[in-house]
Amino acid sequence: MQIRKLYISPGHNFFGHHGRAPDKHVAIEVPEIYCVASRGIRDDRFFDYKSAYKGQITFFAVEVYYDVCRALNVHEKEPSVLRRNVLTEGADLNSLIGKDFEVQGVRFRGVEECSPCYWMNTALAPGAEALMKKRGGLRAIISSDGCLRVEPK
């Protein structure tokens, strides 16, 4: 698994906003993130959100991003609109559900698919939610402290 982009955000845009307009917190692209076991990503909106939270970190495949953008003829949106923390390349994220895995020396436990919701149709384009079904990314628990860094292509 290669890391292509990393994001953090100080606040929630869609999470907990059902029936309301989204907020305007930007997802900030960063060269590295610091993962804290059982707590989340330092400086991210879900850090210390709640005990044993299953989405302490989220992963998303760049291959899916490109596929969905091609299918919807989207050219102007960055992957940051998807609100996932780690943009990966070369990994079947669904195969990590229920498994322990390691990236750059940091250990994780894959918990479940990061299922897309109707907000994806607003964030990316109409039809995004349907195209992302069963490939919305991975929610994981952080099992060890450590730093993840973007890897050059």
C-alpha–C-alpha distance, residues 131 and 128, integer Å:
5
Q: Does pLDDT of 143 surpass 80?
A: yes
Residue whose C-alpha is closest to residue 15's, from 42, 51, 43, 55: 55
Length of the chain: 153
Domains of the chain, CATH where assigned = 2-149 (2.40.33.20)
Its pTM stands at 0.89
pLDDT tens track for 34-74: 999 999 999 998 898 888 889 899 999 999 999 999 999 99
Tell me which residue of 64, 59, 63, 73 sits closest to 131, measured CA to CA: 64
**101 versus 15: which is more confidently predicted?**
101
- What is the rounded distance in angstroms from the CA atom of residue 59 to the CA atom of residue 44? 14
Tokens at 84, concatenated? 């996932």
